[in-house]
Chain A
């Protein structure tokens, strides 16, 4: 006859592996379910109602979604503008950030003196939180740059007063922080390129640009999949710097309507919830945002994976 306590300890011993597995996974899994899965489906539900943030929501079907795409409606114009300006912002970032960070990565893998010091230096801005970063650069753009340009050329240059330069400003500010992180990814990839291939190509007389194009880029292709994906997704998710730097920015005109010109999609959704006080509409916007983002990232990763294989 086996004693009760032995039965239990037998159970533990027999299933030790899976208990350990689930024991470690459970907290993270629970957190994921409670903070992501459940709110996601709740939000999906609310987007089909007229929820006001409190009280009981009433089911209204697709009305919120229709409102977002009704041609000529102000809500639709602003929402579409926000999506478009976020796309533009992402495109700028993908090009600008990756060129800069790849160049920096090349720079810090050439065996220069103090190379590690440069690597750390370029990476440091990454440690600053987004809001602080935004306020820091807001001060620079609003107080320092106008004074300097006034002295230099007699006219103050207000980076954040024009919609186009304001978007560039958000790009520069966020890029200043993020380029270091992307650089580290590229550095790792570059360091993994087999040296014998590079040496062989040098012996064969390949010039610098040819080496870059035909050897480095293909061998670094997996890193591009990662960095392009990160830049794309984080551009779309950008909020901290947007909020702190421009707060929605100078105004502009779109389809005949005057609206705030640098409200990227994340800030736009939050504003619809907190400033316009329309939570259900904000949820609908968030669902559409999710769909758009998923489609784009799947396309991007597929494309890059194909390029990887080709290379």
Chain B
């Protein structure tokens, strides 16, 4: 009897102790850029040494892990992160109850691109990012040095026709240049469809328009499709797919796509400056920058710009205990206002800073290129996040893949996209 009593009470004690989890001196951060994971982990460790606050950082992005999925799993498990990432209005609305008001934070005055809703600031801008047709300057120079070719001037690639000529010319000299294909483009594999149905889709929404011009977006949100514009866009997508490496396009993942560019097996890369950490790891020393985007025929419109924005924001979990919220806010403030934070953002993570007071400049070639385009004001906005993520992935994604697999023609691509886009208001109503 005594033994039973002792056993029972010790069991109780152990259970009670097990219930004490989650110390109030630690925060959990979930972010979606695998490219900066190493830098961020090191920064978090340094922060812990400096302040004693334990940091758990998980990076979930690219093609093997989706932040939305991980976030849902963590919320369901009762271990929601204290800091996570949103990328636009639909994401904000999804997690509205969980997002804290950051309007009183010290860095708010220092940036123009914080995420604001109803006049209050809720998102800490992670970085200024740009994407477009990254290109290998060394390979272009090598091409221009070949006998008998018409030289390519990358600054003149501002429309569909110029790109078509350039791609044809480069493709003819594939062997001489040692490349597998002119463009490294992915999006066929389901895990990479963010390249097509998010980024590339955005060129339909904002290429050629003034920065912040939402006219195409607003029409599409109502289900009104400009078929002429869509037709040009279909031809542009088809051009990219035609001159892409088949394996990388149809089944390649993040590593394959960026790897091909890093190993100089492709002249152009359809990605953004965020891949610089990967290129650095791969010891890619060739000169590179961003070429202007093309989309429309020369007679219709020139698109001399690339896509630049602060596309994602850190948000603080409003449902976490007050103490943890404050720790999270302190971490973000540290990142934005201290020298160590600036050094991390610019030099370690290679980000273009979203805060005006930062004096450092990134040195990675693609990031430098983005800053140059931004300085000249030749930028287009990122508008794809006005559209629901499920719609982009499940309705639009497969259409791109069917084009990539040669199952449909650009004409059919245009028709299917039209049907899908015209059905967008119904899609929203059915949610």
Question: Which residues of A pack against B, CB within 8 Å?
Answer: 5, 8, 53-55, 67, 73-75, 78, 141-143, 146, 156, 158, 160-162, 246-253, 258-261, 273-278
Contact = CB atoms under 8 A, between A and B. Distances in A.
Contacts of A274: 66, 68-69, 72-73
Given A258-B398, A277-B72, A249 B246 contact: no
B68 A247 contact: no
Contact of A249 (B72, B97, B190, B407): B190
Contact of B251 (A8, A161, A259, A278): A161
B17 interface: no
A161 B398 contact: no
Interface stretch (B24-32, B362-370, B389-397): B389-397
Nearest to A248: B190
A8 B399 CA distance: 73
A251 B401 contact: yes
Interface in B142-185: none
B390 A156 contact: no
B384 to A, nearest CB: 16
B402 interface: yes
12 contacts: A53-B72, A67-B430, A75-B430, A142-B253, A158-B250, A158-B251, A160-B189, A246-B190, A251-B401, A258-B416, A276-B394, A278-B431
Contacts of B72: 53, 273-274, 277
A277 B94 contact: yes
B405 A161 contact: yes
B289 interface: no
Size range of the interface on B?
Answer: 35 or more
Contacts of B188: 161, 250
A251 B250 CA distance: 10
Contacts of A250: 188-190, 250, 401, 405
Contacts of A251: 397-399, 401-402, 405, 407
Contact of B390 (A67, A261, A277): A277
A247 B390 contact: no
A104 B256 CA distance: 37
Given A247-B189, A249-B190, 12 more contacts: A53-B72, A141-B251, A142-B253, A248-B190, A250-B401, A251-B405, A258-B399, A258-B402, A273-B72, A275-B66, A275-B68, A277-B68
Nearest to A150: B247
Contacts of B97: 54-55
B252 interface: yes
B361 to A, nearest CB: 37
Contacts of A78: 394
Given A246-B190, A274-B68, A146 B247 contact: yes
Nearest to A135: B64
Interface string B66-77: 101100110110
The 9 closest A-B pairs by CB, nearest first: A251-B398, A251-B401, A161-B250, A248-B190, A258-B398, A276-B390, A247-B190, A274-B69, A247-B191
Secondary structure at the A interface, as helix, strand, loop or mixed, is: mixed
Contacts of B63: 247
A54 B247 contact: no
A253 B407 contact: yes
Interface of B is mostly: helix
B1 interface: yes
Given A8-B1, A251-B399, A162 B191 contact: no
Interface string B406-431: 01000000001000100100010011
A156 B246 contact: yes
A156 to B, nearest CB: 6
Interface in B239-282: 246-247, 250-253, 256
A146 B251 CA distance: 10
A260 B1 contact: no
A66 B375 CA distance: 54
A54 B75 contact: yes
Interface string B314-336: 00000000000000000000000
A55 B66 CA distance: 23
Contacts of B395: 74
Contacts of B398: 251-252, 258-261
Contacts of B66: 274-275
Contacts of B73: 274
Given A78-B394, A161-B188, A274-B69, A142 B247 contact: yes
A259 B256 CA distance: 24
Interface string B281-322: 000000000000000000000000000000000000000000
Contacts of A142: 247, 251-253, 256
Contacts of B399: 251, 258
B393 A275 contact: yes
A260 B402 CA distance: 10
Interface in B47-106: 63, 66, 68-69, 72-73, 75-76, 94, 97
A73 B430 CA distance: 10
Interface string B112-136: 0000000000000000000000000
Contacts of B75: 53-54
B286 to A, nearest CB: 24
Contact of B405 (A8, A53, A162, A273): A162
B68 A253 contact: no
Contact of B190 (A73, A162, A260, A278): A260
Contacts of B247: 142, 146, 156, 158
B69 A275 contact: yes
A139 to B, nearest CB: 10
